[in-house]
Structure 1
Amino acid sequence: MPAPVSSPGTRTPRETVELLLRTVVEGSRSDLADLYAPDVVIEMPFVRPGFPSRTEGNGAMRARAEAVEALWTYDSVDGVTLHETADPEVVVVEFRVHGRLTANREPFTLGYINVVRVVDGLIVSSRDYGNPLESEVLAAALPTPLDS
């Protein structure tokens, strides 16, 4: 995992989100899960069928992330714009993540806008807005739906 900017308790929300984006490419899914609070709530309002629209708790998030770790990899993140808000715990981030399916090396790109709340250096909630059409290539790689 990439070296943290600082310990979780002293990381700012911006630093936590920046670390999250680096960890997407440089770390494991377990490393990613370490950036989320035990009682995290992740909502994906525009998710396609087969993917969970809501995940509650770090354990559930970690299990889903690790379930797909062998199916695809992330190569890079770009187009990053971070917006700090009037609420010091909330950061809005726009980005694109590029990756490849493990089975056939087919490339994919996913664009997101995430509204992330960070408390004590850990993500406590995230509303992730992505284009469900872009995730079709990922859905095709799933042996079973993640939301079952």
Structure 2
Amino acid sequence: MPTPAEVFEQFRQAGERNDVEGFLDLLADDVLMEWMYPIPGFPGQMRGREQLRGFYGRQSARVGSHRSTYRDVVLHESTDPEVVIAEYVRDMTAVDTGETVTKPCVAVLRVRDSKILNFRDYVQF
């Protein structure tokens, strides 16, 4: 069974491939996804894989409009064996212009039985 750190690595790989289905497959049925800072066009939180599937389906043009690279990843294990804290830099390059926006990120993931139960995203747009 993958560790929380290994599940984060699977998330990173899905993000770099723009693989929304691969990302959704990592989520528990009742996942709680939280964006801790307001992101235009995103709610503050969503619950459930199917709600996220619908949301990302409606955002497919936005998702496909850029390519992401995750770099400088530092993982911090917690005293809670289900929790991993990830610090990383995300470079998002627009497909049509080649312009890159760089965002420092922190994510806190709670993983149980190889599925993300809670994904708390601290990124500012």
* Structure 1: 4+ residue segments shifted above 4 A: none
Aligned to 1:143: none
CA RMSD across the alignment? 1.7
- 1:130 paired with 2:123, answer yes
Q: Secondary structure at the match of 1:74?
A: strand
Measured against aligned partners, the alpha-carbon deviations of 1:74-102 in whole angstroms (never above 9, x if no partner) come to 23110110000000000000111112234
Q: Secondary structure at the match of 2:37?
A: coil
Shift of 1:49: 4.3
Structure 2: tracts of 5 or more residues without a match: none
Q: What's the TM-score once normalised by structure 1's chain length? A: 0.75
CA contact (8 A) 2:18 2:67 kept: no
In the alignment, the residues of structure 2 paired with residue 128 and residue 98 of structure 1 have an alpha-carbon distance, to the nearest angstrom, of 16
Q: What's the TM-score once normalised by structure 2's chain length? A: 0.87
- 1:33 paired with 2:24, answer yes
Shift of 1:115: 0.8
Counterpart of 1:117, as a letter, is R
Shift of 1:106: 2.9
1:107 to 88, 100, 103: 100
Aligned to 2:80: 87
Aligned to 1:17: 8
Query: Number of residue pairs matched?
Result: 123
CA contact (8 A) 1:74 1:97 kept: no
Counterpart of 1:84, as a letter, is E
Shift of 1:32: 0.9
In the alignment, the residues of structure 2 paired with residue 91 and residue 56 of structure 1 have an alpha-carbon distance, to the nearest angstrom, of 20
Measured against aligned partners, the alpha-carbon deviations of 1:12-36 in whole angstroms (never above 9, x if no partner) come to 1111011111111025111111111
Q: More deviation in 99-108 or 40-49?
A: 99-108
Q: Secondary structure at the match of 2:61?
A: coil
Aligned to 1:63: 54
